Amino acid sequence: MKKLAVVAFGGNALLRAGQQGTIDEQEDNAFKAGKNILNLMDRNYDLVLTHGNGPQVGNILLANSAGNKLYGIPEMPMDICGAYSQGFIGYVLEQQLMNVMMKEGKHRDIITLVTQVLVDKNDPAFKNPTKPVGPYYTREEAEEFMKKSKSIYKEDARGRGWRKVVASPEPLVIYNKQAVEKIAREGNIVIAVGGGGIPCFFVEENKLQGIDAVIDKDLASSKLAVEIHADEFYILTDVDKVFVNFNSPQEKALDKLTLEETKRLLAEGQFGEGSMAPKIKAAINFVEKTGKDTIITDTNRLGDDNAGTRITLG
């Protein structure tokens, strides 16, 4: 029987640090990411792909601001910007994965779903924004932005600069998840829960409305993987393995972790909240609820059984 894998791409799958964010750059990155998907396709996996959107949403927000200042174009809220990004990132991933498959003489239909995710408007996360979005800035630039607006900026744990942070509420319901599983198990590739999904809440009974937040894409991807009964969950990032004592002389890469070990290291503060901690929490959620493995690794090592950090039940 074929296995179903959920593969969560990071935002760097399309837009890497130091790049301008041109469509040519993003298409090239998507093509390279698509080549790695072939490793799982060749092993006959059914596939659901999710992706980050932090850099892209940041650019959309900047364009919004510039358009408002120069031409009076109304600025769009965060949920609408998320929907923009789901559409264009899904299109780029679809097209470049199609290009990869055609070059290799392979075929699968690919379907991108704009995905809404229900959150609680009273979630405590709204009182403590932690989710980084958009480009990196210097301390001086960030302080200037904070003086001019109610936005909050925090320094990146890996020393890459300062980024805007917004609320990251817990995902409660992923809409259309049954359709995601059905379409994927029929042999199609599904792209869903882009950027963690578009956050929405019930403003009144039977009336959904978007809310200004960003759902963590790894946590939403983990929830989706649990609810569609995935056999494996891959979290792709820009490092080959999970490390303890990261960026210190005692730095150590980890090949395998049990659920108990992973929880202990998380409680010890080994993983930065703005970087690896959300991925670890997503991995814990999937392993704990399914008993199946999560693999955290570099995008370029997808499908390599010896790559990454494998988190297991025991």
Active site residue 11: yes
Q: From the candidates 164, 177, 241, 279, give the one annotated as an active-site residue.
A: 279
Listing DSSP states for 136-163 in one string gives: EE-HHHHHHHHHHSS-EEEE-TTSS-EE
Alpha helices in the chain (DSSP H): 23-41, 54-71, 78-103, 139-148, 177-185, 217-227, 259-267, 277-290
DSSP letters spanning 76-128: PPHHHHHHHHHHHHHHHHHHHHHHHHHHTT----EEE---EEE--TT-GGGGS
Residue with tokens 């093509």: 31
Q: Which residues, other chains included, contact 169 with Cβ-Cβ below 8 Å and sequence gap of 6+?
A: 119, 120, 123, 125, 126, 199, 211, 213, 215
Catalytic residue among 35, 164, 217, 281: 217
Q: How far apart are the first and last CA of the chain?
A: 24
CA distance 35 to 226: 26
- Cα-flanking dihedrals φ and ψ of residue 160, to 5°? -90, -5
Q: Which helix (H) or strand (E) holds 6?
A: strand 4-9
Catalytic residue of the set 12, 36, 64, 285 = 12
Sort 126 into a burial class: Cβ within 10 Å, 0-12 / 13-18 / 19+. Answer: middle
Active site residues: 11-12, 131, 217, 279
